[in-house]
Amino acid sequence: VTSTTSVLSNLQAPIVLAPMAGGPSTPALAAAVGRGGGLGFLAAGYLSPERLGQDIATLRSLDQQIFGVNVFVAGGHAADPADVEAYAQRLGGIAERAGVRLGEPRFDDDAFAEKIELLCVDPVAVVSFTFGAPPRASVEALHAAGSEVWLTVTSPAEAIMAAELGADALIVQGLEAGGHRGVFIDDDAQPELSLLAALQLVRAMVDLPLVAAGAIATGAALGATLVAGASAGQVGTAYLRSFEAGTAEAHSDAIASERTTVLTRAFSGRLARGIANRWHEQHGAYAPRAYPEVNHLTAPIRAHGRKVGDSDLINMWAGQAHQLAEERSAEEITVKLASEARAAVSALAARLRAS
Ligand SMILES: Cc1cc2nc3c(=O)[nH]c(=O)nc-3n(C[C@H](O)[C@H](O)[C@H](O)COP(=O)(O)O)c2cc1C
């Protein structure tokens, strides 16, 4: 028997929209996934607390009351300024060609405390975290406010830490996933587990409900993760071309192409999977581990790239199955994924009975 949470057990479709900070996540996208029977999600990352509050209000006004908000865990420590400065020197040419100045490479915590406070005053059904373990006090405050707390993990060791913190569910992110790796510590010592390996290893260590994330783009793949013990799949890239996503046009075009994905620190200073472009090819090899400094440093170039539609100047986060993403409403994508997963699992059951 797989354990569950009240939010997970009430989903009509076993699908959680991945929070996608930096533009793709919109209240309209979360509402559309909710209408399709899945769990809508907002990404608090990079937003001001005021803007987060507005997005929550907008989503509620779209008749959605059960949804999640994802928060980045402020962690680590400031990078060595010399490393950041050396990278800034290397990026000078790109900035010059784009006609912009590099951003100020400051270290900050993305307004962590203010966002938690807002979520305690105005609670939502689920608060998920990525990039590490939040302070125990934050988990307790969110629980007291009535929210479920889900933590993103990429390995059994992180899963054990998350369970000890009192997580209600774990989002298990495989190496296939688009966007930043959710690793607690962004170094080379982390195991690079693909989704199926991670699900099995985490399940062997903890009893919590699991949400599977990484390259789920078809109902069959969603069904496979459910067979492997997940309560739901968290789907990101498959929604990037939906009508309601705020994906930049050049990014959306690259998603539809056969272009390959890579893990890179070139854009943000933290390891993330995105579609390879010239920026990564020229600068990925020596981009420092310096998040969020490098993210701030490169922001003006990326904003310019999005504006002019230059795919060599933007971070195009994408999971490994990106070319299967469909250009249609997110509600339809949700309904189709769920019904195809049901069909795939029943066909499998019938096949196993017959053999
Ligand atoms: C464009 C994009 C932005 C993302 N932003 C976030 C985020 O803000 N917070 C987070 O926890 N995960 C983020 N992720 C990772 C997703 O939560 C999830 O692990 C991933 O989308 C699953 O793999 P898939 O994209 O192949 O479906 C992002 C992924 C993408 C593609």
The Cα 41–Cα 239 span in angstroms is 12
Give long-range contacts, CB 8 A cutoff, 24+ apart: 189-195: 190/154, 190/155, 191/154, 191/155, 193/154, 193/155, 195/225
As for ligand 1, residues whose beta carbon falls within 6 Å of it are 18-22, 24, 43, 45, 70, 130, 152, 173, 176-179, 213-216, 234-238, 317-319
Distance 327 CA to ligand 1 centre (A): 18
> Which residue do the tokens 């049901």 mark?
342
The residue whose CA is least distant from atom 30 of ligand 1 is 179
The residue whose CA is least distant from atom 7 of ligand 1 is 20
- What is the average pLDDT across 238-246? 98
> 253-281, pLDDT tens digit by residue?
999 999 999 999 999 999 999 999 999 99
Q: What is the pLDDT of residue 1?
A: 44
Distance 114 CA to ligand 1 centre (A): 23
The residue whose CA is least distant from atom 10 of ligand 1 is 19
Ligand 1 atom closest to the Cα of residue 274 is 31
Ligand 1 atom closest to the Cα of residue 217 is 27
Distance 237 CA to ligand 1 centre (A): 7
Model confidence at 3, pLDDT cuts 50, 70, 90, reads confident
Distance 312 CA to ligand 1 centre (A): 20
The Cα 297–Cα 180 span in angstroms is 17
Candidate from 16, 17, 20 with most ligand 1 atoms within 8 A of CB, to mutate: 20
> Which residue do the tokens 């496979």 mark?
224
Q: What is the pLDDT of residue 74?
A: 77
Q: Where are the beta strands (DSSP E) in the chain?
A: 15-17, 40-43, 67-72, 126-130, 148-153, 169-173, 179-180, 210-213, 232-235, 261-264, 272-275
Q: What is the pLDDT of residue 219?
A: 98
Ligand 1 atom closest to the Cα of residue 18 is 17
Ligand 1 atom closest to the Cα of residue 171 is 19
> 90-134, pLDDT tens digit by residue?
999 999 999 999 999 999 999 999 999 999 999 999 999 999 999
Candidate from 317, 326, 334 with most ligand 1 atoms within 8 A of CB, to mutate: 317
* Global confidence as pTM: 0.97
The Cα 79–Cα 309 span in angstroms is 31
pLDDT at 2 over 70: no
Distance 58 CA to ligand 1 centre (A): 22
Rounded-to-10 torsion of CA 91, 93, 97, 99: 60
> 20-55, pLDDT tens digit by residue?
999 999 999 999 999 999 999 999 999 999 999 999
- What is the average pLDDT across 227-244? 98
C-alpha atoms less than 13 angstroms from C-alpha of 117 in its C-beta half-sphere: 7
126 beta partners: 68, 148
**What percentage of the chain reaches a pLDDT higher than 90?**
97
> Which residue do the tokens 């400065």 mark?
85
